[in-house]
Structure 1
Amino acid sequence: MKWIKTDIFLHEDTSPSVKISSGLLNQFGQSSHSRWSFLSIGRNSVKVRFVIIDDKNFFLSISIKALEDAFVPDWLMGGQSWSVSIEAERIWIGPIFALLTDIRSAKENISLGNMDDYCKELAAYCEEKGYLFYLFSLKDWTDNHVSGWVRHKEKWVKTYLPFPNAVHNRLHQRRTELDVRFAAFAEDLHQLEIPYFNHRFLNKWEVHQWLEADPVLLPYVPASRKLSSKRDYEMYAASYADFFVKPIYGSQGKKIFRIRETDAGYLLDDTSSLDPAALFKETDEMFRHMYPRLTKEPYMLQETIRIITYHHKPMDFRILCHKKNDHDWAVTSMTARVSSENTFVSNLYQGGAAFPVKKILAELYGEKKGRNIRNMLAELSREICLAVERNSNGYYGELGIDLTLDQDERLWLIEINSKPSKSSEYVPGQMKVRPSAKAVVEYGIYLSKLNGV
């Protein structure tokens, strides 16, 4: 479908109507058009009277009545430039790309936490391309429109809006996706034929099972076991002198235990505590100490990898990948993450620091070898993304792949994130719109083709 970014004007009319210049109409290979047409803005459509104005310039005007019927504020559309497409008996304005997230608001103010800059970039890129972008939460979704937030005059403004052509799921809480409201919302999207991505949160154990069954990826997966009984813990304590106990639904490096066998006994580190590692004489005593936490949510056991260090601190890599079309994934950015002092996780929420991958690998291994390692990181990340797609339902357009190198320079997978943190991206030069924002928008617009846009 051909799109042309065009200035939109408004006019008064008692009925829904659209006026278009012959010059603009000719751009779509048409010299005439039926008297009646449908105006589609997002997934909302209105039957309109179609009027052709003999003018070689580009000109499109929509009646305020037509916008009202489509649940589009006239102040948002009039005097702005939007992408327009015209086919037989239908005029498209948009497409509309929307982001579902958790929004805290008070009166006319909105709080997006560490997503604030990223959402502004999404809005700026959509405006540049002539797409309409808005934010909304589950409670903003109604039977015939959305009460969402648009970027207008450097502010987020709440207003009524039409249903979008595609939705990016950036809900922050797993429990929200398990709520009946989300199930009802997903069913509405299905009925309206609105595609959405990223489908849901992944959990560590299901991902491990997927990759363990893949002969290509198995060599990169640390030995792991679901913690279903004390016997599982005892087997790991007997087999490994150093291993993790991780929450299956955990994120941001939180609630992770690390167990290390020493000459003096067993050391227990805990990312939920600022206290030094606790020393236990026996593994039974350590298990009793952890047990209250272990009963609150499912955990898994995983061998510890002797990962490389940077200035004597553990380091891993966040590889941000984006879907381009039905088949291809691309690496959008790479970030080296170095843990803070006296911690064993590099997550930025736990005090880690971010650095350019190219610079650090060149410093550690030299230019040529560093480049080869970057290529291996990228290739492995793309293979992992394809494996997630093969095994999961729904669409995924963005994945954060956490990889590391051991001291023998062997690659290992640490974790896959379906809702990668936006604060973890290293953006050199503070560019106006980071590549990941552009990639997310473009994948959303690509998916909108599934409902005819």
Structure 2
Amino acid sequence: MIPLFYNVKKKQWFHREKGKAYTWGVLDTPISYLETDTDDETFKTVLHEKQTKLGPVVGILASSSKDAPFTGNTKTFQRFINHVHSHHGFAFVFTRSGIKVDAVDGYTLHPVTHQWIKIRLPYPDFVYNRIPSPDDEDSLEYEENMSWLNEYGIPFFNRSFLSKWETYLLLNHHVHLQPFLPETKRVTSPQVLRQMLKDHGAIILKPTSRSKGSGVLKLERSSNGKLQAFSNAGLDSFEDVTEFWKKRFDHTVRFIAQPFIVRKKIEGLPYDYRVLVQKGPDGWRVSGYGIRCAGKGKLTTHVPSGGTLLPVNMAPLHGERLNRLAIMIGKTLDNALGPICEFSIDLGIDQGNHCWIFEVNSKPMVFDEAPIQREWEKRWFEQVLAITGFSQHDINPLPGTHTIG
């Protein structure tokens, strides 16, 4: 482990190992030697050493903003930065505007104040793509980010959000996954809705590129023949599909339709599972899962929409079967869209004890369960070390690895 120092005012990194020459970052950028520095704004970090290279340097890619240095889930950024720093690496958040010639201006957490601080780093050894929304990925800035990563051979994951429709098509090609997938149709006309309602009685509409239950609707006919549209916001009634299509359907968004599956309930409320899956040195495996229960009168189980967390011992899943399912999904996605390296699955169990895959997400959201968070960070950093070629055997945190110098 080698101590490294940063002068905030001068925007300069240096080491104090006399007679040594060190580099870091994907371009093997040289690090200056400086025997002394009396500036109070200098702080210290301790990095892995791979021969004469220090690291790993981990960049977290976020979106630009007019009102803030970056946008995204800052709590997630903080957790991963703290984990990297406590395990002898260096991590920072950056956006496209921070990429300079042979350097990146980004933001990290100050080791004493724990506030965000602007800092200059070499091009990173690895980039964690946490662009927060599909809309941000549909931009020239995102294309430029991908071109930059490819030009300099910087490894990264995950490339992009998964479209619900495209994911369904990929998984449906796997014969052993087909029994777990609800029938899924693209909603291209009112006729699709009429046929699905005729076949299933009640259906779910989901935007193909949104998350957290945004825009999800349940459609079914009432006893008087009218069409009812139920969402987390409440209930609307329409004369028929034609009226719904004209007055309520959002034609600016692409939707899929699936049968409404009556899930198992706890205390009269439906619940489902959110499963975190990661790839490590030993391959794909489930890192953990949580149970989400729908709020009273709510359609989805997402916590921001009124859902609640339940202890997993209230309805445990079969671990071996869940791992087999996760491995099949992981291999299928990696072969078609890799590198994926992590994803989450939304699973539901119906009244007949059949398991259904509701959704697969390439950028897992925050898990509120602390043990899952810790396992997520641990396995994630194991992947980073493996990808960047740094030591795997010394990843336990030591005191004083990121302190004021």
Give the Cα separation in 2 of the matches to 1:105 and 1:412: 41
Counterpart-to-counterpart distance in 2, 1:310 and 1:334: 17
Alpha-carbon separation, structure 2, partners of 1:10 and 1:189: 25
- Is the 1:118–1:437 contact (alpha carbons within 8 Å) kept by the matching residues of 2? no
User: Is contact 1:149–1:158 with CA below 8 Å preserved after alignment?
Assistant: yes
Structure 2: 5+ residue runs without aligned partners?
8-12, 391-405
- Correspondence for 2:322: 377
Residues 119-149 of structure 1 show CA distances to partners (whole Å, capped at 9, x for unaligned) of 2221222122210111112222223211101
Distance 1:269 1:377, change over 3 A: farther
Q: Could you say what the CA RMSD is over the residues aligned between the two structures, in angstroms? A: 2.9
Could you tell me which runs of 5 or more consecutive residues in structure 1 were left unpaired when the two chains were aligned: 22-34, 49-61, 68-73, 362-369
* CA positional deviation for 1:192: 1.1
For 1:189-208, what aligned pairs fall within 5 Å after superposition?
189-208=149-168
Question: Does structure 1 retain, via aligned residues, the 8 Å contact 2:285–2:327?
Answer: yes
Paired with 1:298 and 1:142, the residues of 2 have a C-alpha distance of: 37
For 2:4 and 2:333, locate their aligned partners in 1 and report how far apart those are by CA, in whole Å. 42
Equivalent in the alignment of 2:210: 250
TM-score by length of 2: 0.85
Matched residue of 1:407: which SS? coil
How far has the Cα of 1:111 moved from its partner? Answer: 7.5
For residues 350-370 of structure 1, the C-alpha deviation after alignment (integer angstroms, 9 at most, x for no partner) is 11111232x211xxxxxxxx4
1:391 paired to 2:336? yes
Deviation per residue, 1:67-124 (Å, 9 max, x gap): 9xxxxxx935xx43221221xxxx1011111111236686xx87866x3333222122
Shift of 1:199: 0.7
Contact 1:166 1:445 in 2 (8 A): no
Deviations 1:264-309 (A, max 9, x none): 22443343x623x223343333333334x1x112111111112111
TM (norm. structure 1) is 0.76
Q: Does 1:426 align with 2:369?
A: yes
Cα distance in 1 between the residues matched to 2:227 and 2:71: 39
Give the conservation status (yes or no) of the 8 Å contact 1:253–1:349: no
Counterpart of 2:99 in structure 1: which amino acid? W
CA contact (8 A) 1:334 1:356 kept: no
Give a deviation string over 1:233-272, Cα, whole Å, max 9, x none: 222122120111221112110111211223222443343x
Q: Distance in 2 between matches of 1:223 and 1:184?
A: 37
How many residue pairs align between the two structures?
379
Larger radius of gyration between Structure 1 and Structure 2: 1
SS in 2 for 1:265: coil
Offset at 1:38?
Answer: 6.1
1:217 aligns with 2:177: yes
Structure 2 residue corresponding to 1:355, chosen from 296, 310, 332: 310
How far does residue 18 in structure 1 lie from its aligned partner after superposition?
A: 7.2
Structure (1/2) with the larger helix percentage: 1
Q: CA 1:334–1:18 in 2, change beyond 3 Å: closer, same or farther?
A: closer
Q: Which residue of 1 aligns with 2:284?
A: 329
Partner of 2:247: 289
Contact 1:227/1:233, CA 8 A, preserved across alignment: yes
- 2:59 pairs with 1:98: yes
Q: 1 or 2 for the larger relative contact order (CA 8 Å, sep ≥6)? A: 2
Amino acid at match of 1:345: T
2:375 matched to which residue of 1?
Answer: 435
